A = this chain, B = another copy of it.
Amino acid sequence: MIVVLTGGTGGAKLIEGLSHVIDAAQLTVVCNTADDFILHGLNISPDLDTIMYTLAGMSDPAKGWGIQDDTFTVLTQLERLGGETWFKLGDRDIATHITRTRLLGAGVKLSDVTDKLRNSLGIRTRILPMSDETIATRVETREGEISFQEYFVKQGWQAEVKNVFYAGVEKSHPAPGVLEAIDAAAGIIICPSNPVTSIGPILAVPGIRDALKRVSVSIVGVSPMIGESAISGPAHKLMAAQGIESSALGAAKGYADFVDQFVIDNEDEPLTKKLETLGIGVVKTSIRMKTLADKQALARQVLALVDK
């Protein structure tokens, strides 16, 4: 079993590649939930949903979120009834949130809800939320503290960020199966996801980083950065706000205590020596994943590294 730690967009691309290269049932995904939020009274888990839709073959590759060819009838009517529309919820997507909200309201744990949903969609890959408890990435801006989705989607990540923290993480616990999956893994992959708001929260759940440090199998990280910018999204801005160098080197430093090898883009070749001083192996390749072929190619390379 290969265990994959991921957020949404970037990680989903590699996971899509992996699911085409090895048996999807041989993957276990541990997914960030610190972006989860409530809108229209519905429990929305953006990263879990992106991974789930990707593995179900339902995702919209052009948008990077939501369900392909989804309609927006409910959202249009919600707007007429005074609801907020900055988060684009499609009709079929809303069915996910209605189901999740109903089950959570009935006392079912998020990990069980997620398992039920992925089974309903015929997904053979196990998808584990990092925790069943509420953990919320909070973004401190000059104008005040906001949720990650408000920063990312509502404000289009334009606000100047002073600090990022994960509310509730100190007292949280890994969801059932997370530590067990890491302990039993044949190899572990850290996806090219935002180090601050996707992988960061997972590592901050007490017990997960220690488990990663403890395992003897190979752990391979993939850089979410090329040059000084994230391949997509605001990772570089959030890294800078946290005093982290916004580059593959900055990302690698956060994982150096448990990662064996780190995959960077060919363009970042000049960082090789500095990365090696962290005591980790450095692998250069093309890490942009625009086509399914790109995703499969990178997935094959990462799997080969894990197998070594």
> Which A residues form the contact surface with B (CB < 8 A)?
40-42, 70-71, 73-78, 80-83, 91-92, 94-96, 98-99, 101-102, 105-106, 116-117, 120-121
Q: Please pick, from B74, B82, B120, the residue contacting A74 in the complex, using a CB distance under 8 A.
A: B74
Q: Is the CB of A82 within 8 A of B120?
A: yes
Most buried by B among A74, A83, A92, A106: A74
Shortest Cβ-Cβ A-B pairs, 5 listed: A41-B102, A77-B95, A73-B91, A77-B92, A81-B99
Q: Is the CB of A116 within 8 A of B82?
A: yes
Q: Is the CB of A74 within 8 A of B102?
A: no
Most buried by B among A42, A96, A102: A102
Q: Please pick, from B42, B74, B117, the residue contacting A91 in the complex, using a CB distance under 8 A.
A: B74
Residue of B nearest to A93 (CB): B77
Residue of B nearest to A122 (CB): B80
Number of copies of this chain that the complex holds: 2
Overall SS of chain A's interface: helix
Asked, given contacts A74-B74, A78-B98, A99-B81, whether A41 binds B92 with beta carbons under 8 Å apart, the answer is: no
CB distance from A58 to the nearest CB of B (A): 10
Known contacts A78-B95, A80-B95, A81-B121, then 6 further A-B pairs from the complex at CB < 8 Å, ordered by chain A residue = A71-B91, A77-B95, A80-B120, A81-B117, A81-B120, A94-B94
- Chain B residues in 8 Å Cβ range of A102: 40-41
- Chain B residues in 8 Å Cβ range of A95: 73-78, 80-81, 83
Q: Please pick, from B70, B73, B83, B91, the residue contacting A99 in the complex, using a CB distance under 8 A.
A: B83
Task: Give A143 to B81 CA distance when docked, in angstroms.
Answer: 40
Residue of B nearest to A89 (CB): B98
Task: Give A73 to B89 CA distance when docked, in angstroms.
Answer: 13
Q: Is the CB of B98 within 8 A of A82?
A: no
Residue of B nearest to A117 (CB): B81
- Chain B residues in 8 Å Cβ range of A78: 95, 98-99
Q: Please pick, from B41, B70, B74, B98, the residue contacting A40 in the complex, using a CB distance under 8 A.
A: B98
- Chain B residues in 8 Å Cβ range of A41: 98, 101-102, 105-106
8 contacts between A and B (CB under 8 A): A40-B99, A41-B105, A73-B91, A74-B94, A77-B92, A77-B96, A82-B116, A82-B120
Q: Is the CB of B81 within 8 A of A96?
A: yes
Task: Give A27 to B209 CA distance when docked, in angstroms.
Answer: 65
